[in-house]
Amino acid sequence: MPRPAPRLRRGPGDFPFHNLGETLQDTRDDRTERRQNNGYDRVLGQIAVHGRAPGWRWSVQELLLYKRQGVPGLATGLQARATALETLLARTVGRVRRDLAGANHVELVAGFAAERVRYRDPLGEVGLGVDDQTTRNLDLYLSPRVHVGLWRGAALTAMADARQEWTRVEQRAWPDPKGDASRRRLGLGLGLQLDQRLLGDRLHIQPIVRLDVVTSRFAVAADAGENDDQGGDHLDLGLSPRLGARLTVLPGVSLRLGGGRYFRPPTLAELFGDRGYMVGNEGLRPERGTNLDGGVVVDLPRGRTTLHAHAAGFVAWSDRLIQLQQSGPRLRPVNLDAARVAGLETGLQLRLLAGDVALSANYTLLAPVNLGADPTQRGRPLPGRPRHELFAQGSLGHVFQARRTELEPRVVYTVEHAARTFLDSSGRYEVPSRTLHGVGLELHIARRVHLAAELRNLFNLRTTTWSPPIAGAPQIRVPVSDFFFYPLPGISLWTSLRVDLDVPTRA
């Protein structure tokens, strides 16, 4: 059955903010002004069609996205007024499954995506100069899969996949454009996964092995590509064995442990994208590393109370980690020689009185460290990765019957906290911490129509303080901003309307 979900969003983004002026540490040119060229229009359409026949299941999902937005620039100096980014994306994913004897089945997954992104900076306001770049991407994906039972409690899944990507960059800004170039990349993968259940399904062991072969054809002729083009032709191999295990120690309580190798090629956006605030790097190579994780999961439904919680520690040692860091006025992904990212992830979902009282929270503790050879960066935290992140939301509501129509009004309160982070790998340009509160009202009608109004940044927090990395330097007032140092709005009202055609079953 079809499941369409159209969405239209628009935001002017013209809120007042604290502009630091052209000199970060000289407060005499600081001023309060309205954000310019910060609005966006977005149209998103999704439809999913599912069907089945004796022995067969199939589905097709389609997504269409159009977004037009301004790129206003950082919180320092003159604002951009003409810089714009336009994105058009169409993506299709289809699945066909044939059920065989027992739990055996074969499946075919196929996908297609086409994307057009145009970035224009006609006055050279955001980047290093005038820019007018159009990027066109095509992506074809095909993956056959087989699932067979082996012996008691054991099943084997074998899969293969192939992904062919094309990208073409057209540069029209320079007097003698040299940005035009086409590239392609082919990725092939093979994977085996064994699922073994023991002790009456209390113990689940899952060894996995995967081999990836990526052939990149990124080299271009001398009269094509960017002026500093670093793209080349590469053949990369990635072997990723992994072992996971889950043990149920009590009803609703389980322990989980996993570890192995991983392999991640850079995305086309990281390689060739130009988004104004971020520019690609043609010379990126795949990152790889070893990771370990372990934790506990609690899932306890008890009458009118439901509790789901998890806590997991993790650590990853990465070679050639792909990391965003400041490059002049923009961010650029680079490969770090070596890095270690350790941390803790926790989550909580609690429903009391059959959902009349609900609480959800997520907290992440990170300890990311640069282990590269550069003495100015070694031992420093990685940019854009705050040590502490917290999101908590509590809500009160109740379901009423009004003339055979189910109504559920709710009051919602949220708290978001992010610790300080940095823009650069040397830890000099700090993005200060922030804690934002919000309150909202929701009305759910017949579990189909969902209305919401929310006041974000309830206490109108617009500025905070920053201590320059200079001995004896006074603190400086700076705008509250995201991890790219783009200012965030003060108190603001956000409204939404969502219509669901498929009614979920109430838990």
Question: What confidence tens digit (pLDDT) does each residue in 21-43 have?
Answer: 777 667 778 888 888 888 889 99
Strands (E), 150-252: 154-171, 181-198, 203-217, 233-250
Per-residue pLDDT, 8: 61
3-state class of 268 per DSSP? helix
Cα gap 474→288, rounded to integer Å: 42
Per-residue pLDDT, 476: 83
Per-residue pLDDT, 147: 96
Stretch 338-343: mean pLDDT? 96
Of the chain, the percentage scoring pLDDT greater than 90 comes to 57
Short-list 132, 120, 17, 131, CA closest to 77: 17
DSSP designation for 272: H
Cα gap 23→474, rounded to integer Å: 15
Structural element, H or E, at residue 270? helix 268-272
Per-residue pLDDT, 505: 52
Per-residue pLDDT, 144: 97
pLDDT tens readout for residues 124-182? 888 777 888 899 999 999 999 999 999 999 999 999 999 999 999 888 875 555 667 89
Mean per-residue pLDDT over the chain, rounded: 89
Short-list 141, 94, 134, CA closest to 115: 134
Q: Tokens standing for 205? A: 């062991």
Cα gap 265→188, rounded to integer Å: 12
Cα gap 71→490, rounded to integer Å: 19
pLDDT tens readout for residues 360-402? 999 999 999 999 888 888 888 898 899 999 999 999 999 999 8
Per-residue pLDDT, 370: 93
Q: Tokens standing for 404? A: 């055979």
How do the domains of the chain map onto residue ranges?
Answer: 1-243, 286-507
pLDDT tens readout for residues 217-264? 998 877 766 666 677 899 999 999 999 999 999 999 999 999 999 999
Other Cβ atoms closer than 10 A to 445: 15
Which residues, 6 or more positions from 325, have their beta carbon under 8 angstroms from its beta carbon? 331, 332, 333, 334, 383, 384, 423, 424, 425
> Pairing mode, if any, of strands 405-418 and 181-198?
unpaired
Which residues, 6 or more positions from 77, have their beta carbon under 8 angstroms from its beta carbon? 19, 20, 21, 22
Cα distances from 62 to residues 5, 59, 89, 109, in angstroms, run: 10, 10, 11, 14
Of residues 337 and 171, the one with the higher pLDDT is 337
Stretch 415-429: mean pLDDT? 85
Which residues, 6 or more positions from 244, have their beta carbon under 8 angstroms from its beta carbon? 205, 206, 207, 208, 256, 257, 258
In angstroms, what is the C-alpha Rg of the chain?
26
Cα gap 445→506, rounded to integer Å: 13
Per-residue pLDDT, 1: 46
Angle of CA points 488, 270, 336, to nearest 5°: 95
CATH architecture entry for 286-507 = Beta Barrel (2.40)
Per-residue pLDDT, 174: 58
Per-residue pLDDT, 335: 93
What is the residue whose two structure tokens read 């705050």? 386
Stretch 288-299: mean pLDDT? 96
Of residues 430 and 8, the one with the higher pLDDT is 430
Per-residue pLDDT, 203: 96
Cα gap 87→163, rounded to integer Å: 22
pLDDT tens readout for residues 315-327? 999 999 999 887 7
pLDDT tens readout for residues 113-124? 999 999 998 888
pLDDT tens readout for residues 196-223? 999 988 999 999 999 999 999 998 877 7
Cα gap 4→46, rounded to integer Å: 5
3-state class of 29 per DSSP? helix
pLDDT of 3 above 60: no
Cα gap 365→347, rounded to integer Å: 12
DSSP designation for 470: S
3-state class of 354 per DSSP? helix
pLDDT of 470 above 80: no
Per-residue pLDDT, 176: 56
Stretch 91-115: mean pLDDT? 95
Cα gap 499→45, rounded to integer Å: 13
- Residue 140: strand pairing partners: 112, 164
pLDDT tens readout for residues 262-282? 999 999 989 988 777 788 888
What's the predicted TM-score (pTM) here? 0.85
3-state class of 28 per DSSP? helix
Cα gap 313→387, rounded to integer Å: 14
One CATH from 2.40.40.20, 2.40.170.20, 3.30.470.10, 3.40.50.1220 for 1-243: 2.40.170.20
DSSP designation for 2: B
Q: Which amino acid is at 184?
A: R
